[in-house]
């Protein structure tokens, strides 16, 4: 493993009964890069996310993070090590306020526990204020500070996506997985999102892996792309190479499109 690789997967395979969802997925993701994972629906992209973040235990293969083996460790341990994620179908804590959602994200970095809070110990009060301040700061980053007291479920769609990212950032990750961050966004919002993803990479020293269907986003911000089709990696490389790869065009558009191209 090279020194500048933050996450590496080796022959990552996931079988559900007779179905092979992902087959021998190997990728090395450079530190501080923005990279993409694409493929048609059902290609196994989210399954890859779930294996990396510990929600699925891979049938075969390994996940190495910062050189350490994290294969099959439970999700909360994975997060503690510095990998955060968002979900394809937004999963906010819908009854809680926008601010509380972000505060929940920073709980795992908190040093004082429940009983210090119950007895109002100074250390706990101090940390409570610090957590709230830090969370407000993150809300500023995603431009939601004015909605801090609103219920999360009352936000418009785009804002919910941004809140999910703020919540993930609150766990202080070094590696961020974004599952279709541009889904359901209009072209303007998508444009903002691309700038935003670059900004948070620079500001928080992140490496970012994203799943995305919007080719403009993928081609616009990813430095390297992996393409999955029916669980198998059919191509990898920089955006220009992927754009003109006949296998990729075939997977997305069918046999005929290749002939026309």
Partner 1 sequence: MNAKIKAILNILAVAALGLFLWWAEGNLDGYMIQILNLIAVNIILALSLNLIYGFTGLFSLGQAGFMAIGAYVCSILILAPEQKEMLFILEPAYDWVQSAQAPFIVAVVAGGLAAALVGLLVGIPLLRLGDDYLGMATLGFAEIIRVLAMNAPRITNGALGFKGIPDHANLWWNFGWCLLTLYFVIRLVGSNSGNVFKAIRDDETAAKAMGIDVFRQKLLSFTIGAFFAGVGGALLGSLLATIDPKMFTFVLTFNVLMIVVTGGLGSITGSVLAGFAITILLEWLRFVENPVYIGDWELPGIPGMRMVVFSLALILIILFRREGFMGKREFSWAWAVGRFFKKAERHAS
Least Å distance, CB 38 to partner 1, is 22
10 binds partner 1 (CB under 8 A): no
83: alpha, beta or left? (left if phi > 0; alpha if psi -120 to 50)? beta
Compute how many residues bind partner 1; rule: CB under 8 A.
37
Least distance between partner 1 and beta carbon 163 (Å): 12
Residue 100 or 229: the one with the smaller Cβ distance to partner 1 is: 100
Among residues 57, 67, 72, 91, the one that binds partner 1 under rule CB under 8 A = 91
80 binds partner 1, rule: CB under 8 A: yes
Nearer to partner 1, 135 or 207 (CB): 135
Tell whether residue 179 is a contact of partner 1 (CB under 8 A). Answer: no
β strands within the chain, DSSP E: 5-16, 19-30, 34-38, 60-65, 68-69, 83-85, 175-179, 207-211, 224-229, 232-237
Task: Report the C-alpha gap between 247 and 250 in whole angstroms.
Answer: 5
Alpha carbons 166 and 69: distance in angstroms, whole number: 27
Q: Which is nearer to partner 1, 114 or 156 (CB)?
A: 114
Strand, helix or coil for residue 158: helix
Do 85 and 165 meet the contact criterion of CB atoms below 8 Å apart?
Answer: no
CB 188 within 8 A of CB 11: no
Q: Is 258 in the site for partner 1 (CB under 8 A)?
A: no
Of the pair 130, 261, the CB lying nearest partner 1 is at 130
Q: Residues 74, 184, 187, 246: which binds partner 1 (CB under 8 A)?
A: 74
Q: Which stretch binds partner 1 (CB under 8 A): 91-99, 155-163, 194-202, 249-257?
A: 91-99
Q: Does 162 bind partner 1 (CB under 8 A)?
A: no
Q: Does 89 bind partner 1 (CB under 8 A)?
A: no
Residue 36: beta bridge partners?
210, 225
Residue showing tokens 């007895």: 119
CA nearest 225: which of 203, 202, 200, 251?
251
Quick check: 175 and 5 in contact, CB under 8 A? Answer: no
The first and second tokens of residue 58, run together, are 């891979």
Residue 233: CB minimum distance to partner 1, A: 25
Smaller CB separation from partner 1, 131 or 144: 131
> Residue numbers of the site for partner 1 (CB under 8 A)?
53, 55, 74-76, 79-80, 84-85, 87, 91-96, 100, 103-108, 110, 113-114, 117-120, 124, 128, 131, 167-168, 170-171
């Amino acid at each position: 493993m090279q020194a500048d690789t933050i996450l590496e997967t080796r022959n990552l395979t996931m079988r559900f009964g007779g179905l092979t969802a992902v087959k021998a997925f190997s990728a090395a993701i450079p530190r501080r890069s923005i990279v993409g994972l694409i493929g048609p629906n059902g290609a196994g992209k989210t399954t890859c996310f779930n294996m990396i973040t510990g929600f699925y235990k891979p049938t075969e293969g390994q996940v190495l993070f910062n050189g350490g083996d994290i294969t099959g460790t439970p999700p909360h341990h994975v997060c503690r090590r510095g990998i955060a994620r968002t979900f394809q179908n937004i999963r906010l804590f819908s009854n809680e306020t926008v601010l509380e959602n972000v505060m929940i994200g920073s709980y795992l970095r908190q040093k004082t526990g429940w009983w210090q809070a119950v007895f109002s110990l100074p250390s706990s009060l101090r940390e409570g204020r610090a957590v709230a301040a830090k969370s407000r700061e993150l809300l500023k980053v995603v431009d939601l500070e004015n909605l801090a007291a609103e219920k999360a479920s009352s936000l418009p769609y785009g804002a919910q996506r941004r809140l999910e990212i703020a919540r993930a950032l609150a766990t202080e990750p070094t590696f961020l997985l974004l599952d279709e961050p541009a889904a359901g966004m209009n072209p303007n919002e998508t444009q903002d999102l691309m700038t935003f993803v670059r900004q948070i990479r620079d500001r928080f020293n992140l490496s970012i892996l994203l799943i995305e269907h919007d080719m403009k986003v993928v081609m616009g911000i990813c430095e390297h792309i992996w393409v999955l089709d029916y669980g198998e990696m059919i191509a990898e490389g920089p955006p220009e190479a992927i754009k003109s790869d006949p296998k990729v065009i075939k997977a997305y558009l069918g046999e005929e499109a290749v002939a026309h191209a």
